[in-house]
Chains A and B, each alone.
Chain A
Amino acid sequence: MGSRASTLLRDEEIEEIKKETGFSHSQITRLYSRFTSLDKGENGTLSREDFQRIPELAINPLGDRIINAFFPEGEDQVNFRGFMRTLAHFRPIEDNEKSKDQNGPEPLNSRSNKLHFAFRLYDLDKDDKISRDELLQVLRMMVGVNISDEQLGSIADRTIQEADQDGDSAISFAEFVKVLEKVDVEQKMSIRFLH
């Protein structure tokens, strides 16, 4: 399986990705073939247009935000490493991972990294705070057109007030983590990658 892909992907590269992201060998080759099939320019990187060609993504309200999350700041190309690094956020946490890695670097799919990924979707200006405007923008994308602006505004206000602890009328990452502490993020921010 994935023989063509794996020939294009050097073994040491696979090893590195494996180490960094925790994906298995077969998952990496599978995702690499997906990566190449998305890569219409065939230059080993994906551009925003490549992502936008995925039809379902176009109708996803948060589609653009998520695409942006794949791209490192200021760049408009993402290579396979970066692609995998982003996807690794959504790898479920496995049992054996829970215990180990106390001292090593935090795995990409840890709870706090999952949360941070979501947080960054809101935080457009990267000031580590979700301001009211940022929240409103996301709300407008997710909520149907039937809700009026005032209603959205009141939702945003309430949301912020609910989470805001230091009274700066914005949600910091710490506050974001705090409000979601009862949510099973490990499960709700994971998908099953085929082996």
Chain B
Amino acid sequence: MGQRGGWGQISALSWQQEGVGLEGAGISLAKIVFHLSRKVTSIVPESCLLILLGLGLGGIVLAVAKKAEYQLEPNMFFLFLLPPIVLDSGYFMPSRLFFDNIGAILTYAVVGTLWNSFTTGAALWGLHQAGLMDPGIEAGLMDFLLFGSLISAVDPVAVLAVFEEVHVNETLFIIVFGESLLNDAVTVVLYKVFNSFVELGPARIHATDYVKGVASFFLVSLGGTAVGLLFAFLLALITRFTKRVRIIEPLFVFLLAYVAYLAAEMVSLSSILAVTFCGICCKKYVEANISQKSRTTVKYTMKTLASSSETIIFMFLGISAVDTSKWAWDTALVLGTLFFILLFRAVGVVLQTCVLNRFRLIPLDRIDQVVMSYGGLRGAVAFALVILLDRAKVKAKDYFVATTIVVVFFTVIVQGLTIKPLVTWLKVKRSDHHKPTLNEELHEHAFDHILAAVEDIVGHHGYHYWRDKWEQFDKKYLSQLLMRKSAYRLRDEIWDVYYKLNIRDAISFVDQGGHVLSAAKLALPSMPSRTSMSESSVTNLLRESGSGACLDLQVIDTVRSRRDKEDAAMHHVLRGSLYKPRRRYKASYSRHFISPDKQERQDKEIFRQNMKRRLETFKSTKHNVCSSKSKARLKEKGRKKKNISLTSDTPNGKTHRNVPWQEAAPVLVMVSSEEEESDSSETEREDDEGIVFIARATDEVLQGKTTPGSLDVCPSPCIIPPSPTLAEKELPWKGDQADLAVYVSSETTKIVPVDMQKAWNQSISSLESIASPPGIESGSQHRRFACPVLEEQPQSANQAMSEQSSCFQFPSHISKSGRSQSDSSPDGAEQQELQPLMATEEQGRMVPTTEPRWLMFNRASHL
């Protein structure tokens, strides 16, 4: 390639790009095909298939072009192909496991690699000296050591591919995988040192150069690690402030990791170590800071990039193997290398394990050692490194290339294929992949604390002691510095697991189309009061169906209590009604394309539109209603209009205060209190709440209307005019009152309907006698905040009413359903819209469930 002229190079470049593009397409297709046939992938590791595919492709390319036009270039490999792979493995490294075994990993990676490269190199040199190899191989000790260093690079890609499929136990996995990852870094450093020695030529190397070599080895590795840590810190710090620019969060992750790589490379420190440690260390903080969507983006992009580059490398491998002009065969060298790498790896593992087991809690047994020795697959890195040798300096390059290709093929194909049967045959402890459970997380945490305490008591400062120290330091300083306040506040592993479990349940629930299959597993948040009947199956059902809708914790929390008050049947009906999905879809849809600032406006718009629509429905249904009701409605309507104009005039934030009905206040409070905590899911939450509230509002409305006296009201919902009744709810309490009494006038805002109050108080007191006092509900916080605000307005009118707050509470919920816009009309309209859908079924269900609902309702009203 070096001899080619400028034109040649350009054409080669374009060829290369096209080739890579084509290859990419081919690879993607091939991957799909591989995974379609599970049978094949279950026996043959993916890397084998890719190499074979590369061979095939290489053959075609060679046949067409007569000459392998493109080759792996050093720059391309080190600047583009390697970083994604390393970042991916670093970022997704299970850090706890990694640090738990860091001693073993470091030993195998550093000592093991040094041992492997020196022994292999020296043994091969010995073979050469003994005259067993083709004398045409011009190579000295340095060349062989160089070769030994590159051939001892255990490849994380191949190892990961194989071990992930094999499912060995996690300790074994992390040791082999961690070793292969760090050992790349060691190999590259070693390779560079030897390479410079070879380039210098044996004659000009002085004793000091060896010392320098050793020193630079440590400098380069530790320096690289330091650079990685520095960038991890920077990255975490930056993501702390990206709240307003969510879109570029993933970009930061990739960019800074890449900058870490380049920076380390620039000052010739180990860039692999830099990226690895950047990935390992930043993960905790970054994940806490960025939004869920960014997290997903990061995950997928990283995986995609990594698997593309590893595939490209394997393809290059296949293509180079076909191109006979690039390599020269020597049987003795090939066989010798194969033999030595297997032998020395095994010996190295056994020796190191002997030493390590003296310090390990759970010693690595013989079987583990066999698997570790056998798991030393060579792969892309070794191949890339050998291709990058300079033929002018390393005369035996062609031989080395051939040998490396054979070694890679042998280890990946032969060992890769046989390791699975071997593991089965040896009965290696497998890991059982299971979903994390809250219990495990919780108790394991307790174990950690216990062990730390016992170490303190024994007075031996072991691993647990230092881990405990570190965690305290992290909690006190690092996390506070690097995590967003909201994230930091909510940061807790146990809580995280809980959160994830809930999300998983919710998703599976939704996937199941709303049928409560995983019911037993769905433990949603605490109920208002455990002693009460809330444990009943109906509530469970409710809680579960609720979880399907609310993916956000906060929602679950706030909605929960209200949800309890709902009827299961009602929920099902609601679920069936097209309303929720549509609305939610719309909201989230707009969200994707619109920046957060605009979103609010958008919401408003959607809201307005909805309102218009609802008003129309409202008009049409109105005719079904009995005359008194319709009158009320008319009145309402008038009022509504006023309200609307009012809202639209006032700027967003202040609207709430001005709105006649107190309901405005709670909404306001709620939004503001949660804004910070869960910004990402606000829309969703609102939607969910809207629905939930509507459902309940209906209930209450019905009861409120009919109950004044006693329990026998239960049947009353049915008695009330059929479908309209339910449809009624729109302004249930309002509408009802209208005929009876003074209105909460739209004019003054301050007057509270006296009759209504009375009726409510009555019904409440009657209920109170039946039901136990209100439990503590998680959602209560917001509402409690709301109360004072609420009362301000009505109090001027009706200060004496002791149960005022409870009366008003209920309006407040309704208002929430109307979203932050909070005029009364939307609620009405919204309910109206739902109405037709729910009407029929509700009737049937109402009767049996009324009583429990009542009680719950009572509780709610107290909050």
Residues of A near any B CB (own CB < 8 A): 31, 34, 37-38, 51, 54, 56-57, 59-63, 66, 70, 87, 90, 92, 95, 117-118, 121-122, 132, 138-139, 142-144, 146-148, 150-151, 153-163, 169, 176, 179-180, 182-183, 185-194
Contact = CB atoms under 8 A, between A and B. Distances in A.
Nearest to B780: A150
B433 to A, nearest CB: 10
Interface string B412-454: 0000000000000000000010100111101111110111111
B451 A54 contact: no
Nearest to A156: B526
A186 B362 CA distance: 9
Contact of B465 (A56, A144, A158): A56
Contact of B453 (A37, A62, A150, A189): A62
B492 to A, nearest CB: 5
B456 A153 contact: no
A129 B781 CA distance: 32
A159 B443 CA distance: 10
A39 B558 CA distance: 52
Contact of A57 (B432, B438, B457): B457
27 contacts: A38-B457, A60-B452, A60-B453, A66-B450, A87-B458, A117-B450, A121-B450, A132-B530, A138-B446, A142-B442, A147-B490, A147-B495, A148-B778, A150-B778, A150-B781, A151-B778, A153-B526, A153-B778, A157-B523, A157-B524, A158-B502, A169-B530, A189-B447, A189-B450, A191-B451, A191-B460, A192-B359
Contact of A150 (B447, B490, B525): B525
B598 interface: no
Contacts of A155: 438, 442, 494-495, 498
Given A57-B457, A90-B454, A150-B776, A182 B432 contact: yes
B459 interface: yes
Contacts of A189: 447, 450-451
Secondary structure type dominating chain B contacts: helix
Interface of B: 359, 361-363, 365, 432, 434, 437-440, 442-447, 449-460, 462-465, 468, 472, 475, 488-492, 494-495, 498, 501-502, 521, 523-527, 530, 556-557, 776-778, 781
Given A59-B472, A60-B456, A144-B492, A188 B501 contact: no
A142 B494 contact: yes
A51 B458 contact: no
A66 B465 CA distance: 15
Q: Which of A146, A147, A151 has the most CB of B within 10 A?
A: A151
B458 A179 contact: no
Contacts of B450: 62, 66, 117-118, 121, 189
Contacts of A117: 450
B454 A66 contact: yes
A180 B439 CA distance: 7
Contacts of A194: 460
A114 to B, nearest CB: 9
Contact of B361 (A92, A147, A180): A92
A195 to B, nearest CB: 9
A154 B361 contact: no
B526 A31 contact: no
B771 to A, nearest CB: 21
Nearest to A33: B459
Given A154-B526, A191-B462, A159 B439 contact: yes
Nearest to A158: B523
Nearest to A37: B459
Contact of B457 (A54, A163, A185): A54
B447 A193 contact: no
Contact of B557 (A154, A157, A185): A154
B495 A143 contact: yes
- Give the 9 A-B residue pairs with the shortest CB-CB distance, closest first: A154-B525, A150-B778, A161-B523, A153-B526, A158-B523, A179-B439, A146-B489, A62-B449, A66-B453
A60 B453 CA distance: 7
A153 B525 CA distance: 7
B863 to A, nearest CB: 13
Contacts of B434: 182
Contact of A182 (B440, B445, B491): B440
Contacts of B556: 154
Contact of A191 (B361, B557, B777): B361
A173 to B, nearest CB: 13
Given A95-B365, A192-B463, 4 more contacts: A92-B361, A147-B495, A183-B444, A193-B460
A145 B525 CA distance: 19
A183 B432 CA distance: 10
A162 B557 contact: no
A121 B457 contact: no
B454 A87 contact: yes
A157 B491 CA distance: 19
A6 B798 CA distance: 83
A148 B494 CA distance: 13
Contacts of B445: 142
Contacts of A121: 446, 450
Contacts of A51: 457
A147 B492 contact: yes
Interface core residue of B440, B460, B492, B530 (most chain A CB under 10 Å): B492
Given A56-B465, A147-B492, A154-B498, A118 B472 contact: no
Contact of B438 (A38, A162, A187, A192): A162
Which of A34, A60, A148: most chain B CB closer than 10 A?
Answer: A60
Nearest to B433: A182
